[in-house]
Every structure is written in structure tokens, then in C-alpha cells.
Structure 1
């Protein structure tokens, strides 16, 4: 069986507007951390992929990134680079939760890795 998607991260030019949009349309509850301007999405359905909606950085670039579960983020990044992908963010620890990293696939799409 393949590796599942563990998380989605929607980065918006106007995070508050995006959170209201998705909440209104899909009925999602979104708990916003004002310090980070990031909202944790609760679909309320007990199924699907969890995620969050945050503010774009200074570039203002909106994006939607999915995070795929892997056993070893560093080893997976090496495989990605060998297959024509590009490392964007090296593995970094989120204390008590896991390890994240990001890369670009051969088409230039940003994708994330999630190591538990």
C-alpha cells in the first residue's frame, strides 16, 4: 500500500477571507491562532484529511500543499532529488508531533513530507 496524505496546508493572500470562505461553503470549524495567523481546520466529519489555513509570506503567493507520510524524511528527500525533484525545506522537528520537509516535484509543484 502507498503512503497516505497526512495534512493539507492552504496558504492564502488573505487568510481571514479564505478561512471564512471555506468555513461558509463546507461548514468547517476553524480555530485560529492569532499569533501565527493560522487556522486549524476541523471538518467535523471524523474523516478526511486534516489541515490548516494560513497567511502567505511577504511574497504573497497563495499555495495548497499536501503532506505525505514517510518513514524517513531525509532518505525520501534523497530519493526525490535522484528522481529530478528539488529539496526546498530540509527536515525540521515540530516538538512532540513529528518532522516536516518540503520539495518541488519535476513539474515544480510544492509537496510536503510528514515523518511521525
Structure 2
């Protein structure tokens, strides 16, 4: 079975890698391993059940920083053919921010944006030993939800459906905030889309990391110099979420239990 349309990696570009290691290690529970590639160091973040890593972080490259890009998280979506997928992004009204290129022994990737400007990455990964990892729902330290603040989901969903074969799920009524469109891929329901709130500066994806007790996580965020901007808030199914900003300014979110 093709893994086209699956999330395969998450990455933080930050202005202070050492501070980010300490913050996320405390807040999410990740350990880390630094890897050198020429004059660049890439840090792999690991959950307890994922020794090969669940995410990575790096210093914002100078050329990206010069474009005014702030610290941020991004997600990688698997594609069967990176070059063909990049061309399809263009044909569907999106844009290619960085054309396809190879990362030796890792895969071929590109940085793209949907028609409303929300940035994400696509990758054709190198063959994986042991096949696709089987991560149980709610596994600590893993990314368990993906949320798009973009255009009206009734219009914007078509781009992702055409790109990745994602399927519409239930549509939740968010009152004045409009509809919240759930979507699924091979792993089941993995996220939702909604129209960008006015306080969000530009269309963007937000990634939710799984923790244990949400109230304890709130204390770790604030004690570590981060800021909670929304929540804790209960969501369908009994989980609780917060949305937050890390000390360097990158947006992220957490999902956990209460009590």
C-alpha cells in the first residue's frame, strides 16, 4: 500500500537550538541526538517508544531568516514522487517555495504552500528498514493532530483531497468561528481545517504533541518561558488541548488528559 498522504516527520526551525532542546525536552519529554552534516547540525527528537526519532530541529538558515521567516514548526507529508507532486501543487493553485532536492540517505523533499499560503513540506522518503512504524493512538511524544488555519474549508479542502487523497470526515459547528472540517488519511482521522481566525497573522498549520496530564504540561510550558495562548479546553472524546508559543516564538499545541 502506498504511503502517499501520510505525515512522516515534523521539524522546528528556531533561533536557539540549545534553548529549544531544554524546553521541549521538559514540556513534551523528548530526548535528543545531534547529527552533523557538513557545517550544519541537525537535532533528532525522540519519544520513549521511537528511538529513530519523531521530529527534528535546526537553526533557521540565514537565507530563510533574511526572508523574515520566524521560528516555526512544519510537517512533512509523504508523496510517491516529489517532483510530480511539486508540479501538482502548482497546477492546483499552490506554490513551490523550495524546489525538490535530495537529502542523502533520507529522501527527496520540497517546501510548498497551498493556494491560501499555508506552508508545509512534501517528501519521497528513502526505503525504510522494517516497513512503516505502527504507532498506537495517543502515544506520548508523538504528533496526534494536525490543524489548518486557512480559507473556508468547504473551498480549501479540495486542494488537499486532490494532492493526497485525504477524505472528509464530520463537519463540526464552531459557531461564530465557522465550520471545522475533520479529515482522514490511511491512519484514520488525523486533523481538522477551519477558516483562519483574525488573530492568526497568516494561514498556517498547527501541530499537536501528545502529553500526559495537560495541567502539568501547562506548568512546564510557563515555567520554561513559553506562553499558553488558548486553553486548556476540552475537545470531543474527552481530551484537553492547549495552544502555545515557545520561548523563541514558534507556535505549537499539546493534547492530553485531565485528572
Q: TM-score with structure 2 length normalisation?
A: 0.41
Distance in 2 separating the partners of 1:97 and 1:53:
15
Q: Which residue does the alignment assign to 1:55?
A: 59
Ranges of 4+ aligned residues in structure 1 off by more than 4 Å = none
Q: TM-score with structure 1 length normalisation?
A: 0.86
Q: Which residue does the alignment assign to 2:48?
A: 44
Q: Which residue does the alignment assign to 2:189?
A: none
Q: Deviations over 1:24-52 (max 9, x none)?
A: 111111112365232101112239x8210
Alignment of 1:1-116 (within 5 A): 3-33=5-35, 35-46=39-50, 50-58=54-62, 59=65, 61-116=70-125
Larger Rg, first or second structure (1 or 2):
2
Q: Which stretch of the first structure deviates more once superposed, 55-64 or 17-26? A: 55-64
Distance in 1 separating the partners of 2:105 and 2:60:
25
Residues 75 and 2 from structure 1, CA distance in 2 versus in 1: closer, same or farther, beyond 3 angstroms? closer
Q: CA deviation at 1:23?
A: 0.5
Q: Is the 8 A contact 2:74 2:121 kept in 1?
A: yes
Q: Secondary structure at the match of 1:107?
A: coil
Distance in 2 separating the partners of 1:68 and 1:40:
18
Greater RCO, 1 or 2 (C-alpha within 8 Å, sep 6+) = 1
Q: Is the 8 A contact 2:4 2:80 kept in 1?
A: no
Q: Is the 8 A contact 2:25 2:31 kept in 1?
A: yes
Distance in 2 separating the partners of 1:27 and 1:76:
34
Q: Which runs of 5 or more residues in structure 2 are unaligned?
A: 126-259
Q: Is the 8 A contact 2:4 2:79 kept in 1?
A: no
Q: Which runs of 5 or more residues in structure 1 are unaligned?
A: none
